[in-house]
Amino acid sequence: MAEQGVLMTTVTFGANLTEKAMGVPLGAARAVRDEVFRATFAAVDWVEGVNQSSFKIVREMLKRVDALSKEAVDGLDAMAGSMARVVRGSGEAAGEMVSKTAASLTGTKEPSAKQIAVA
């Protein structure tokens, strides 16, 4: 009976040792898996951050181009208004000069601004 006790103790000890020995590679596999996925998630977070930064840069560039184009259109609008006023003023001045020239050539009295407005 004493042998069975020693034999059973040895078998039990061997089984426990085998179980612990099998746990080491599984623990290492868990540690490797945990580290791989931690690094993978960190890489995904980094790529997402880079993409967000890129989009922020593109958005800022679009805002600046929008502001510049608005200023350009406003400037063209102001220039067109100024040109229209200059052309109108030049046309009125030319009309007055033609009217005075025609009046002096024909010897008639030139119409006043009041008479022109009424006509």
Closest CA relative to residue 111, chosen from 93, 97, 99, 98: 99
Contact 75, 83 (CB under 8 A): no
Q: Give the mean pLDDT of 76-87.
A: 80
d(CA 64, CA 71): 11
Q: Is the model more confident about 4 or about 35?
A: 35
pLDDT band for 82, please (50, 70, 90 cuts): confident
Q: What is the pTM of this model?
A: 0.43
Backbone φ/ψ region at 20: left (φ over 0), alpha (ψ -120 to 50), beta: alpha
d(CA 107, CA 103): 6
**19-78: pLDDT as tens digits:** 777 777 878 888 999 999 999 999 998 888 888 888 888 889 999 999 999 998 888 888
Residue type, 108: T
Residue type, 35: E
